[in-house]
Every structure is written in structure tokens, then in C-alpha cells.
Amino acid sequence: MTIKHEALDRVVIRFAGDSGDGMQLTGDRFTESSALFGNDLSTFPNFPAEIRAPAGTIAGVSAFQVHISDHDILTPGDSPNVLVAMNPAALKANISDLEQGGILIVNSDSFDDRSLSKAGYETNPLTDDSLKRYSVYEIPMTSLTLEATKDTGAKPRDAERSKNFFALGLISWMYNRPYDETINWINKKYENRETVLQSNLAAYKAGHAFGETAELFASNYTVAPAHFEKGTYTNITGNHATALGVVAAGLLSGMQVLLGTYPITPASDILHELSKLKNFNVKTFQAEDEIAGVGAALGASYGGALGVTTTSGPGVDLKSETLGLAISLELPLLLIDVQRAGPSTGLPTKTEQSDLLLAMYGRHGEAPLPVVAASTPSDCFEAVIEAARIAIKYRTPVILLTDGYLANGAEPWLLPDLTKLQPIEPNFSKEFNHENKDGSKSFYPYIRDPKTLIRQMALPGTPGLEHRIGGLEKSNESGAVSYDPLNHELMVSLRAHKIEGIQDDISDAVVDDPTSDAKILLLGWGSTYGSIAAGVRRLRARDKKVAHVHLRHLNPFPKNLETILKKYETVIVPEINLGQLSKLIRSKYLIDAKSFSKVQGVPFKAVEIEKYVLNFVEEN
């Protein structure tokens, strides 16, 4: 049989298996080799909270979806074209997403009675005709892996664990991924574990050779490199970009960074990355709890460092009292909330946008703070720098919202032009700013810039400027404890106006409305960027006019937002929550914004955005 080579413009592949099967690693490697090959790509890892959920059960299924293309794409794809299912549970949990006629590759060795029953199958789907809508390839990956690795010295139990490399080899052959680069990568990754190295190499090579020689597949495919703007690229996840952004913010401001944090899914990778970067003037501190993490960050800020804390929803709850202190002290602080599905422990590994109102209002007292959101994995880099800029300049805590989808999803990133990164000036005070009645001089910590209302800040170690600050209400200018009613009202209003005034110092919202005459505006924020933009493309392909605005700043909103919103007949706000931004928009601008919500722990599909708008147009 001759194998045909077909060219595809894009393909969506999902690897699914048990949480111990190494699907995330397989997907990551496939992604990395596609990135180096030059495809545009977007990924969506989806895994359970348990490290090793009961083997073979639906609850234990871990999946990694990757979308590769020869053109610019925005999402990890709505429906996979190819599903690799390593066991019956993985098949059962994922088959409904596979496109009709799609390629299904199963590890047939795992379809024994026990595994079928664990997955809840009464009959074997491989024999009962239930999969006839798909092109099914049954491949005994376990036994082929054992056969391929028998000379490596690996015990069968260990050798079997290499079957994900067999799958990787097979799919790499099917889609013509660079061969040698993955071989080199395996050699490097396992260089200190010789048996594992040999076993994985053998399995990878066997999978690749199997595709070539088994005469099972009529064709293999190429997805040509995408046309990218000139420049240097890397493949990056949101958490990694966030960590790099934190380092960059420190270097741009000349401030030492202290990350005070506590491990929590899905934010911990930011800690892992930063803890490696000690020569970049970054210190990391894994505290005893969430509260100590943010407390230490604030203490560092008080001393003139950039205090950063990373967490997810439950941690934000715990840090809220310290945020209030930071608001009262008026000290810089960056809180990065990698949102996950709540309430309570919720779905720790699943994504959600449900902390927006928490970020806005989740503190006692009148306690406003700026809120910034990242919209794609690589955008986390710039979003962090912007959040840090506001925190440092305005001496305020800032919450940056990312989420599980951005954190773990990856995309190619055109490395930024370093000459365009602006320095951040902390402007610490070195001089007295007050003359006492007796003619002596002192430092008043709450003397403000009359326009921006930014307070003066002197660091410990500055001779003569010794002063005390605290969480008790303080007298305007002097900072001395004050119980005066009118002073309290003044301070509450000064703090609020300072945050509102940041509006003058942030970029305008950008409208994507090519013909400028759309009647419907899709207003989004955060990680829905890709889904909304892809949905908008689909609508425009059907000649439906629709505009898209995606917000970077959620508090304060950009100055031009009101004008934009009032220009459109309909404002639709898609969100992975029950309508939190739409509430803010409705209350602030008295606009009948329509909430389109989805709260399933997964992102919107582009088609869902498309359908919602089409239905809306039809019904109105």
C-alpha cells in the first residue's frame, strides 16, 4: 500500500488517557515540536484534581487538546479531528466531542472486560457498532510497546509506562512532526535515568515505525508552517509568561521582587518558575499559609521591593484582609489570581472567570483597588507589567486576573521588542516634606500629588524620614491616627478618587468593528478573548456584522468605554461565570447588557459564540 501525503490547513488532536498515562507530557511534546516546526497553535490541557485518581475510571481521565494550523488561530479548537484514547474511560469521556468522521485511535489492549466495566461500558464499543461514525484504528499499543522495549532492560511494568511515547511516535508520524528533535528531547529529559530513557526512545521509535509500515493508514498529513510576522518566537503557557512578566516588572522598576506565596492549583507553576530565577533579583518565599504569603509580600513592598503574591480563588478569600491593609497603608502590592472553578474547593483544575466581583468588592469597608486581566497565555507577560506599573506608581494593591485555561494553555509568542518596554519609576521620597510649628522638619507620609493623589513614600533606612503607618484611619497628610469623622470621609474619598483617576493613565479600549456599522457588540474580558474573536470570525464569514471589545482594565474601566457601549444597539457579554462583568456594566453605565454565560469549567467554543449571536439576531 502506498501512503498518500495530504496537506491540511489545520488539525485538532486530543490525547486522552488515565491521569497516570502521561497524556500531558505527550501533548506538551507534540505541541513543542509543532511550535518549532512553525505552526500556529493553541492548547487546552484538561485534567482531574487528583494526582492519580482511581485507574481506569472516568474521574481519572486526563486529556490534552492541541490545535495546529498553517494560519493564525485563536482557540484550541471546538471539536477534535483526532482522538487518541488510551483506555475505555478516556474513550467514554471524550468521544462525544470528536467530529463526525473523525479519526479515533484506541489502545485496543486496554479494552478488556474489567476496564470496560470500570468505564461503565456494558458492551465493548469496539465491537458493538457504536463507533461507526468514526474512522477507528485499533492498535494494541501496550503489547507493541512491551515488544519494542524488551531489550532495554526495563521491567514489563515499567516498560508499559512508555506507551504514551508509542502514541506520540505514531501521531508524530501521522502529522510529519520533526523526528530528530523529539529524539534529542527524550535523550536530554531522561539523561539521568538510563532504563527509562531507553524504554521511551524504543517506544517512540516503534510508534513512528508502526505508522509507516503497518499499512493501517492510507495517508499521513502535513500541516504547513503558518505565516508569522518576522521575529523570534517561543511557545509559552500563561503561567510561564506570568512568571517572566513578574521578573520583567522587577527589572523595569529596578526593584527587588519578593514573591510571597503558598502552593495552590493552578497557580503553583508561577512559583516554580520564579524560584529558578534567583539571579534576576527575585526572591521566592513559600509561606506557611496564604495569609503569610501576602503579608510577607506587603512587608517587602514596605521596604521598597515589589511584593507579589500568586494564588487562586480560595487564597484570594484568605488574603482579603491584607489587601485592605495595603489599601489603607497605600503600598504597592501585586496579587495574581489564577482563577479556577468555585465556590469553595470547587473544581481546582478547571477554569472559570468567577472571581471578578471578588476582586472588585471582596473586602470590608470602602476598599477599591485596580483590576487588570490577561486575555491569552502570552498576553500574561504584558498584563503583569501593566498591573505592576499601576501598583508601583499609585502605591496600591492591584489584582491581576488570569485563569486555569490561560495558565496551562500554550501558544506561540513573538518575543517583545525590549526597547518598547517602559521603565517604571517608584519615586521614593528622600527629603522632608513638612515644616513643624517649631521650625523643625519632618516627613508626612500622606501628602499627595494634587492631580494623581499618589502619596509620598519613604523607605525604612532613609535618615530623618522616620514615620509610622498603620491600618487605623489616619489623618490626611500627617498620617497620625485620627478618629475625626470628616477626616475619615475625606480619606475614603481620596482613596476612591485615586483609583478612579487611574483612568487617565490607561489605554483606551480598542473596538474591532471593521465596517464601523455593526449593531451588536460582544464585550469580553480575560481568557474568553480567543473564543470570542474566533466566534466573531465565523459570524463575519457568514456576513454578519458584529463588533468585539476586549477589556484589559476592569477597574477603572477605560475612559472611552461608555461612548463605545452607547454606540451599539446590543451589548452581549460572554463570560465563564453567571454574568459578573455584565452586572458591572449594567450598574455603571445603565445599559441593558446581555449576559451570555457558561459555567462548565471549560472555555467557550467559537461555535457557541456564533450560535448565540445568530439566535439572538433571529429572535430580535
Query: Does 299 interact with another protein (rule: CB under 8 A)?
Result: yes
Q: Look at residue 603 and give its three-state secondary structure.
A: coil
x/- contact string, 181-220, with another protein (CB under 8 A)? Answer: ----------------------------------------
Pick between residue 283 and residue 537 the one whose CB is nearest to another protein: 283
In whole angstroms, give the CA distance from residue 315 to residue 338: 10
Choose, by CB under 8 A, the member of 11, 202, 292, 509 that binds another protein.
292
**List 214, 216, 415, 578, residue binding another protein (CB under 8 A):** 415
Candidate list 1, 51, 418, 486; residue touching another protein; CB under 8 A: 418
Q: Does 254 bind another protein (CB under 8 A)?
A: no
Nearer to another protein, 215 or 288 (CB): 288
Q: Residue 369 CB, nearest distance to another protein (Å)?
A: 16
Q: Does position 302 bind another protein by CB under 8 A? A: yes
CB 549 within 8 A of CB 564: yes
Instruction: Please tell me whether residue 409 binds another protein under the rule CB under 8 A.
Output: no
Q: From its phi and psi, is residue 231 left (phi > 0), alpha (psi between -120 and 50) or beta?
A: left
Q: Give the nearest distance from C-beta 188 to another protein in angstroms.
A: 11
Whether residue 587 contacts residue 581, with contact meaning beta carbons closer than 8 Å, is answered with no
**Which string of DSSP letters, residue by residue, matches 304-363?**
TSEEEEEE-HHHHHHHHHHHHHHHHHT--EEEEEEE-B-STT-BTTS---TTHHHHHH-S
| Cell numbers describing residue 252 | 523595569
**Binds another protein (CB under 8 A): choice among 288, 543, 618, 619:** 288
In the 8-state DSSP scheme, what is residue 262?
Answer: -
**Closest CB 166 distance from another protein, rounded Å:** 24
Q: Give the residue carrying C-alpha cell 494560519.
A: 71
Name the residue nearer to another protein (CB basis): 38 or 346: 38
User: Rule CB under 8 A: is residue 179 a binding residue for another protein?
Assistant: no
Indicate whether 73 belongs to the interface with another protein (CB under 8 A).
no
CA distance 570 to 522: 8
Beta bridge partners of 283: 258
- Among the residue ranges 60-68, 159-167, 283-291, 338-346, the one whose residues contact another protein (CB under 8 A): 283-291
SS (H, E, C) 75-136: CCCCCCCEEEECCHHHHHHHHHHCCCCCEEEEEHHHCCHHHHHHCCCCCCCCCCCCCCCCEE
Considering the complex, what minimum distance in angstroms separates the CB of residue 409 from another protein?
17
In the complex with another protein, which residue's Cβ is closer, 118 or 389?
A: 389
CB of 50 to another protein, least distance (A): 27
The answer to whether residue 304 forms part of the interface with another protein (CB under 8 A) is yes
| Shortest Å distance, C-beta 311 to another protein | 14
365 binds another protein per the rule CB under 8 A = no
Q: Taking the complex as a whole, how short is the minimal distance between the CB of residue 359 and another protein, in angstroms?
A: 20
CA 560 to chain centre: 27
Site for another protein in 506-565 (CB under 8 A): none
- Candidate list 209, 421, 496, 599; residue touching another protein; CB under 8 A: 421
Closest distance of CB 490 from another protein, Å: 20
Query: What is the spatial distance between Cα 54 and Cα 50, in angstroms, rounded to a whole number?
Result: 9
- What CA–CA distance (Å, rounded) separates 261 from 294? 7
Residues 446-475 touching another protein, rule: CB under 8 A, are 460-472
Nearer to another protein, 116 or 367 (CB): 367
Which residues from 263-282 bind another protein, rule CB under 8 A?
A: 277-281
Given the complex with another protein, which of 321 and 562 has the nearer CB atom? Answer: 321
Using CB under 8 A as the criterion, what x/- string covers residues 76-115 for binding another protein? Answer: ----------------------------------------
Among 74, 84, 196, 298, binds another protein (CB under 8 A): 298
Among 134, 179, 221, 233, binds another protein (CB under 8 A): 233
Q: Which residues pair with 339 in a beta bridge?
A: 403
Which SS3 state, helix, strand or coil, does residue 202 take?
Answer: helix
CA contacts within 13 A on the Cβ side of 74: 18
C-alpha cell belonging to residue 586: 449594567
C-alpha angle 331-388-327 in degrees, rounded to nearest 5:
25
Residue 230 is a binding residue for another protein (CB under 8 A): yes
Q: Which among 446, 326, 459 is positioned nearest to 398, based on CA atoms?
A: 326
DSSP per-residue string spanning 27-86: HHHHHHHHHHHT-EEEEEEE--SSTTPSTTSGGGEEEEEEEEESS---SS-SS-SEEEES
Question: Does residue 305 interact with another protein by CB under 8 A?
Answer: yes
Query: Smallest distance from the beta carbon of 27 to another protein, in angstroms?
Result: 17
The yes or no reply on residue 434 touching another protein (CB under 8 A) is no
Which three three-digit cell numbers place residue 376?
Answer: 491569552
CA gap 601, 592 in Å, rounded: 27
User: What ranges in 485-597 are assigned the alpha helix state H?
Assistant: 485-501, 529-541, 561-567, 580-589
How many residues bind another protein (CB under 8 A)? The answer is 70
Is there a contact between 256 and 250 (Cβ–Cβ < 8 Å)? yes
- Output 58 or 469, the one with its CB closest to another protein: 469
Q: Are 270 and 241 in contact (CB under 8 A)?
A: no
Site residues (vs another protein, CB under 8 A):
32, 35-36, 38, 228-236, 244, 247-248, 251-252, 256, 258, 260, 277-281, 283, 285, 287-289, 291-293, 295-305, 307, 321-322, 324-325, 329, 415-416, 418, 421, 460-472, 480-481
